[in-house]
Chains A and B, each alone.
Chain A
Amino acid sequence: MTVMASLPFLFILCTTLWRGPFPIREATGQFEDIADRPASAFLVPTLSYYRPLFHLSLWSVWHSASSIDGALRAIKLFHVVPIMVLVLLFIWILRPRSALDAAVATAAVAVLVGAPAFLGNLEPPLSYTIVGMPAALIVWMLLERDYRSWHGPAIVILTLVAIGFKEQGLAIVPLVVVAWWMGAPGTGRFTAAVVTVIAIAYVAFRLAHQGGKGWPPFEQDVGFLFSGLSSTEATARFGAFPVWIYLYSAASTVANVLLSEPTDGRFRIVLAVIEGRVQPWQIVHVVSSLALTALIAWWGIGALKSRTARTWSMEARLVVAVVVVLMVSGALSFDYSRDRLGGMAIPFYALAAFFAIRQAAERLSRQSAAVAAIGAVSLLLLAGAWQCRALFTIEFTRQRTVNGQREWLTDLYRRRTDYATRPVYLHVLDSMVDQGTDPARVVHPTRYPSWMRDLLGEY
């Protein structure tokens, strides 16, 4: 039932991404780089951004494809395949065995795909974290299964893949270490040691290759309370002692996963409430996140209390996994907060949602009729709110492809003139015009009735 309920969503989302145009801004520059530079150029970090495996993967596809169209199609797979693996693997890990399990699993899938941190990672060709998310989930699955000799190498390879696509993959390292410490059956001390060494080596390597001037204190715009600061403004305001703003950005990413607010470090919904212009969808987002996080906290405390001195249950380990991955995801976003930077934590948050909602439903079934009825309606509303958010993911993704095509239609001439001295860029740009402007490639969002759009959100 859970798979059947998830497949239409998955199919629509993946076909939207598969058919949609690559954005002119993000894609052409990336493809110029991989077309123009040797593979070895991506191994040595020259900027603060370092995604060697992402670039090498694109480079391999680009240079081995028989045509640019073929390369573009293959690059789309770096998004579509991880999304399919993530959702199907998520359901497989839950293995619903009863009607209640199946119902709760559908709600958990909605949490997974309705989360802003999932939506924020659906922008081809930037598949940095969407590759890391299923990798983390596979690692978790291996950690929780009976030990096999190949688990260690598999976990190490998955960790390397996730880190190679983006530094957010480092979140897998403490996950493996704490899982081993808590007695997870699928791993051992050696694997924990190897991934720790990998993490230390990676960080040392990055610090050693900062370039002559070192990294700037702020790479991108920084959100702070109700407004945003450009990187220059942030440097002027916080550059002398940036620790507090780094902590603020890290906490913002964590809070965005747990509460859907702030977004990009800015308290947009709180501001809307203060100014009396709050929208129904903003309430849906914050309340559904707040309620689910409270439910997860209640379940998590119970799971931790029920462990004995020497044994940790799988649920207790999951509680720690959620906390650890969330904290690391936050820490790695210290420079600026964005929805997408919480991506590695979302599969674990959604797994925890499954256990929390299931436990709540089981407890309610043992209560008096009145309490059970109130609780059941509350869970119905919670599941409904997350389904709205999952639908929003589809419609927002569609609108993003429409916006992407709009940029191709309006920005082409400016790009050609601005980059007139870069022949490789122009060649890539011209090769991509058809995919960028073909009307058949975009599906316009559904024009739901206004009350429905109010509940879903702005797209």
Chain B
Amino acid sequence: MAALIGAPAIVAVLGLTAIEGYRLIQPVSPLFGDAPASLAESITRGYGVEYSYRFIRAGQNPNNVVVVDSENYTNGTSITVSPLMLAVAAHDDNTASMLLNFGARLDLPQNRFARCLAEEIGDKAMLRIIDRHGGHELTPPCPDRTAVATMPLLRWLD
């Protein structure tokens, strides 16, 4: 009887100890969440803002363009784009907020159409975030680019 009642606790403690030991040895594993190889991968594959922030904290300039080659955002074409534009295209509100909190500037050429992109894809939450950082004042009137490209992100590349 004692063995049966105690068995779940023993299984739990052995399992927990083994998992945490493994975490110490192999912190990056599917059991604890893969880490993205780049900021672009973190955004396009939806790792979450805390993973994206690791690149910024490690010194990556949030205004520097990154290389993206994604079926979902670029039709498989390799392009360079700002992390902010990519976050807007990915509807990643948290990462967009983080980038703006930690140095992304809406007045720079690579970011200046972030608001237009958010408007085109109908992301109202994103528009609020961009406007909180002065997007409404810093963004020039959005030109008509419907004929430029099929993917919204490609359309608003400067």
* A residues in contact (CB < 8 Å) with B: 1, 4-5, 8-9, 12, 98-100, 102-104, 106-107, 109-110, 357, 361, 364-365, 372, 376-377, 379-380, 383-384, 386-387, 390-391, 394, 402, 405-406, 409-414, 417, 437-439, 442-444, 446-448
- In B23-72, the 8 Å CB interface with A consists of 23, 30-33, 48-50, 53-54, 57
- In B64-105, the 8 Å CB interface with A consists of 93-94, 97-98, 100-102
Give the chain A neighbours of B32 by CB distance below 8 A. 444, 446-447
Q: Knowing that A106-B6, A106-B9, A410-B98 are A-B contacts, what are 6 other residue pairs whose CB atoms are under 8 Å apart, sorted by A's residue number?
A: A100-B1, A376-B1, A384-B7, A411-B97, A444-B32, A444-B33
In the complex with contacts A410-B94, A439-B57, A447-B31 CB distance below 8 A = yes
**Tally of contact residues, B, Cβ under 8 A:** 37
Contact of B54 with A380 in the complex, beta carbons under 8 Å: no
Contact of B4 with A376 in the complex, beta carbons under 8 Å: yes
In the complex with contacts A104-B5, A383-B8, A446-B19, A406-B49 CB distance below 8 A = yes
CB distance from B93 to the nearest CB of A (A): 8
Distance in angstroms between the alpha carbons of A376 and B4 in the assembled complex: 7
Distance in angstroms between the alpha carbons of A437 and B49 in the assembled complex: 11
B151 within 8 A of A: no
Contact of A8 with B20 in the complex, beta carbons under 8 Å: yes
In the complex with contacts A9-B13, A103-B2, A409-B94, A446-B31 CB distance below 8 A = yes
CB distance from A249 to the nearest CB of B (A): 33
B132 within 8 A of A: yes
| A-B residue pairs, 3 tightest by C-beta | A103-B6, A106-B9, A410-B97
Give the chain B neighbours of A414 by CB distance below 8 A. 132
Contact of B13 with A439 in the complex, beta carbons under 8 Å: no
Distance in angstroms between the alpha carbons of A361 and B5 in the assembled complex: 9
B155 within 8 A of A: no
Contact of B1 with A365 in the complex, beta carbons under 8 Å: yes
Give the tally of cross-chain contacts (CB within 8 A).
130
Contact of A357 with B50 in the complex, beta carbons under 8 Å: no
Distance in angstroms between the alpha carbons of A446 and B132 in the assembled complex: 35
CB distance from A354 to the nearest CB of B (A): 11
Contact of B97 with A12 in the complex, beta carbons under 8 Å: no
Distance in angstroms between the alpha carbons of A361 and B7 in the assembled complex: 14
> Which of B19, B50, B54 gathers most chain A CB within 10 Å?
B50
CB distance from B92 to the nearest CB of A (A): 11
In the complex with contacts A391-B16, A409-B94, A446-B32, A439-B53 CB distance below 8 A = yes
Contact of B9 with A110 in the complex, beta carbons under 8 Å: yes
Contact of A387 with B50 in the complex, beta carbons under 8 Å: no
B146 within 8 A of A: no
B150 within 8 A of A: no
CB distance from B45 to the nearest CB of A (A): 15
Give the chain A neighbours of B98 by CB distance below 8 A. 409-410
- In B95-139, the 8 Å CB interface with A consists of 97-98, 100-102, 132-133
8 Å CB contact of A357 from B5, B8, B54, B93: B5
Contact of A5 with B13 in the complex, beta carbons under 8 Å: yes
Give the chain B neighbours of A5 by CB distance below 8 A. 6, 9-10, 12-13
Contact of A409 with B1 in the complex, beta carbons under 8 Å: no
Distance in angstroms between the alpha carbons of A447 and B28 in the assembled complex: 12
Contact of B16 with A9 in the complex, beta carbons under 8 Å: yes
Contact of B4 with A377 in the complex, beta carbons under 8 Å: yes
Give the chain B neighbours of A379 by CB distance below 8 A. 1, 4-5
Give the chain A neighbours of B3 by CB distance below 8 A. 99, 103
8 Å CB contact of B12 from A1, A387, A439: A387
Contact of A387 with B97 in the complex, beta carbons under 8 Å: no
In chain A, what residue has the closest Cβ to B5?
A103
Distance in angstroms between the alpha carbons of A414 and B97 in the assembled complex: 10
Distance in angstroms between the alpha carbons of A386 and B20 in the assembled complex: 20
8 Å CB contact of B50 from A8, A100, A402, A413: A402
CB distance from B47 to the nearest CB of A (A): 11
> Which of A372, A394, A409, A414 gathers most chain B CB within 10 Å?
A409
CB distance from A421 to the nearest CB of B (A): 17
Distance in angstroms between the alpha carbons of A393 and B92 in the assembled complex: 29
In the complex with contacts A406-B49, A439-B54, A446-B31, A413-B133 CB distance below 8 A = yes
Give the chain A neighbours of B49 by CB distance below 8 A. 406, 409-410
Contact of A8 with B33 in the complex, beta carbons under 8 Å: no
Contact of B50 with A439 in the complex, beta carbons under 8 Å: yes
